[in-house]
Structure 1
Amino acid sequence: MPASTGPTASLPVLVFLHGGAFFLGSGSRPYYDPTTFCEQAVKASRPHIFVSVNYRLGAMGFFHSPEASDLMPANNGLHDQSVAFEWIREFIAGFGGDPDNVTAMGQSAGAMSLSIHNLSGRDNMWQRSIQFSGSLVTMPVQSPAHHQQNFLHQAEKLGIETQRQAADAIAREMINVSADKIRDTGYVGLPCSESEMLPYQSASMALTRRRVPTSGALQSQIVASATYDGGISYNMMIGDKGRRQHANVFIQIAKDVLKHPQELLDIYGITKDEEDVAALKKICQFESDAGFFAASRALAQGSGEKATYLLLFDLGNPFNGPLPSKQYATHTWDIVALLGAYEHTLDEIYRASIRAFRDKIISYVTSGQAPWLGWTEEKGTALIVDQKGPRVVGKDVYMGHDTRRGQLLALAEKEAGQDGCDVLWSDVCRRFLMEGE
């Protein structure tokens, strides 16, 4: 918050939900430091209050037994977020914030959280939402039956007898286990469907397109993806010595699942016996297009009367790592660039592009005015951010018939109509990503 802010300031409020696959992370991680973002806002005479929210993760946030739901309810991590927003509604005015002028911003799992909240049927308090590289399908959603199976499995790992005890008794024993031991189970938090927070049987892009956000407070949203969101999978898999022959594994999955597998392989240039590093880069580009870009587009398609603005972040990650510097706009780099933690290390071209991009987001957060032309099915207007700076383009530029994304969307339609993108994402890409587990 600006240093001079008093309780009567009534400034706009930006609330941030961090990423980390519902398993790790926190809003206070150094790369989420919002100081640069907030300073630029003050210099532009657009001060606001920035609030970062933590929530329970992994086992602590998502263990659930539908047979003992009073003791181990569904989606505690998501309910933590709701409690945080209730706290903001009640107390933010004392910090100089306006509880009736709130933007909720999430990245990755945080963005998926916002999708869940926006599609829950509940009346949320935020007027605007910004979702960076996260949607209803970013992480798998499990049924109550699957959560019950997992609950019993994790209890056995903790040495709890499950064969001769009712679920309530098992839950009580689990509650008495130390938090460290529960965390050591390594459970990745998976939200539960058919619940208060997720009142649907399964999560899909098809569902996103037909389930319009119902919150009366929500007026508009920005939905965003990075050109190489699949970089997070590349970084995890490239050093996994147990995973080999990526091209051959992917080709076999495509043949098992698709009616037209060769078309998918041709779009990404994936060939039999291709060297692993090259193949994995191509497969993770497919992941980026099928699981992140297509999901953002589905959010835009299902927005109803809520104004929606599509953002495509294509500024290459400038830092050295498993991928070459400045060639790939990777997962998480978009929010890091926006918040500005390492801006002092960037060259002037990068700084100028990011500052111009940041100006648009700051203006949207503080004024609520349209940051660029809204998305429509006919024009498909989007903001692209790259080394040339942010610029508005029509759909022919980023998903025209001759583009990689356009060809993928056409293949999805040919494969399964409205369900085609879900087939490509869930049945092909996720299966490949999970093949070695």
Structure 2
Amino acid sequence: MLNEQTIQVIKSTVPVLEIHGTAITKRFYERLFTSHPELLNIFNHANQKQGRQQAALANAVYAAAVHIDKLEAIIPVVKQIAHKHRSLGVRPEHYPIVGEHLLGAIKEVLGDAATEEILQAWAEAYGVIADAFIGIEAQMYEQTEQQLGGWADFRAFKVDRKVKESDVITSFYLIPEDGKSIASFEPGQYISVRMSIPGEPNTHIRQYSLSDSPEKPYYRISVKQEVETRDKPAGHVSNYLHQEVKEGDVLWLSAPAGDFVLDQQDERPVVLISGGVGLTPMVSMLNTMVEKQPHRPVTFIHAAQHGKLHAMRESVEQLARIHPQLSAYWCYNQPTDLDKETNAHHREGYIDSKWLQSIVPTRDAGFYFCGPTPFMRAVNGILKEWGIPQSDIHFEFFGPASSLEPVGAEIG
């Protein structure tokens, strides 16, 4: 444990980290990849280029400093990150490397303000935090490998089927190449896919939510083809999956991971809210409930620009026809003429508080949501405004975690 003097030194750096945190983490990654380019095989290059990974690490370092005297407060965050580390193949030997370059970045960015006392305190704190990660991840590796159908690291899966779900989303049905059983999972979890793209020096790892219920002989992922926009580059891996990967090809998968999961011990109603490709973990939860908890009331709400971009609508509508406890609603903010003619959506525009309260029968429910970060900020704000307890609000980020402080009321 850390002594009181070390704790006070760490806490004294909180204002500095609030100002210089992102500069420190940016320099950290530059140092790390220059000294250990092999680690580029683990990290998401797109998140690096967009600055998302740097911002996420800066937030994590800041949180560690704020809570340094009660590190148990950040254990839930440690476990969330540890799930991702396990699925990526992060190992104990990586932590001293990270520590060396994080301290080096602090010294470089802060200059003379980074005294020996501050650097020593952060070295001690990093050691304690790293030990927490290593211990939790060791348990996860062991549990993952020893479970029925489980495995360590990455395992070869064959693309059994490739199904177009919308203009931008395609599902891949993946079966183990060795023909053996596969690990079960909790609805809401994800797998990591490791790709070797011809002509590129590094492998790429991407995490995709499983989009069907567990206990099937396959894993299904439903991938959005990310095209280039003003705000972000084209999705390197998603485009390769859509354009080049064919039925019969082999992909390398980690075992399922993640702590954003459906609480199946809870018998209360569930509200599933998604935007865009964020519907993938929601469909997994929905399919699981209609199979295992057929009497549990479910409200399924999905937002998309228009019908051509709306994946899995027919399958959800079919479930709603069969299961009276399921209510499904669509919200299109740019409906096509065909959408309007066929009245294929329940609402034109955005999800807002008044409409949500009009279709959700009770506040006494579990609320789960996933989608683009602005969408999730808005949903989170609506739920808080409605008085939903934090314990009933559950969400998942695709990629590094961000802030969900509400920045507006509209959702697109």
Q: Same fold (TM over 0.5)?
A: no
TM value normalised by structure 2:
0.28
TM value normalised by structure 1:
0.27
Identify, as 1 or 2, the structure richer in strand.
2
Which fold has the larger relative contact order, with Cα–Cα distance below 8 Å and residues 6 or more apart in sequence? 1
